[in-house]
Amino acid sequence: MSAHNRSAWTAGVATVALAGIHFAPSVVVLGQWTPVRTLPGGWCRWRGGGRHQVALTFDDGPDARTTPQVLEQLDRLGLRATFFLLGERVDTAPSVVRAVLDAGHEIGSHGHVHDHHFVRSPRWVLADLDASLAAIAEHAPRPRWYRPPYGQATAATLVAARMRSVDPVLWSAWGREWVAPDAADVTRRVAGGLAPGAIVLLHDSDVTSRAGTTAQVLEALPGIAVELQRRGLDSVTLSELVA
Residue 168 and residue 132: Cα distance in Å, rounded? Answer: 14
Phi first, then psi: what are they for 96, rounded to 5°?
Answer: -70, -40
Look at residue 214 and give its three-state secondary structure.
Answer: helix
> For the stretch 38-57, what's the b/e string if a residue is b when 16 or more beta carbons lie within 10 angstroms of its beta carbon?
bbeeebbbbbbeeeebbbbb
Is 59 among the catalytic positions?
Answer: yes
Exposed, middle or buried: residue 167 (CB in 10 Å: 0-12, 13-18, 19+)? Answer: buried
Q: Catalytic residue, from 63, 128, 203, 206: name it.
A: 203
What is the 8-class DSSP label of residue 209? S
CA–CA separation, 52 and 195 (whole Å): 8
- Establish whether 139 is a catalytic residue: no
- How many helices (H) and strands (E) are present in the chain, helices listed first? 9, 8
Q: Which residues are catalytic?
A: 59, 203
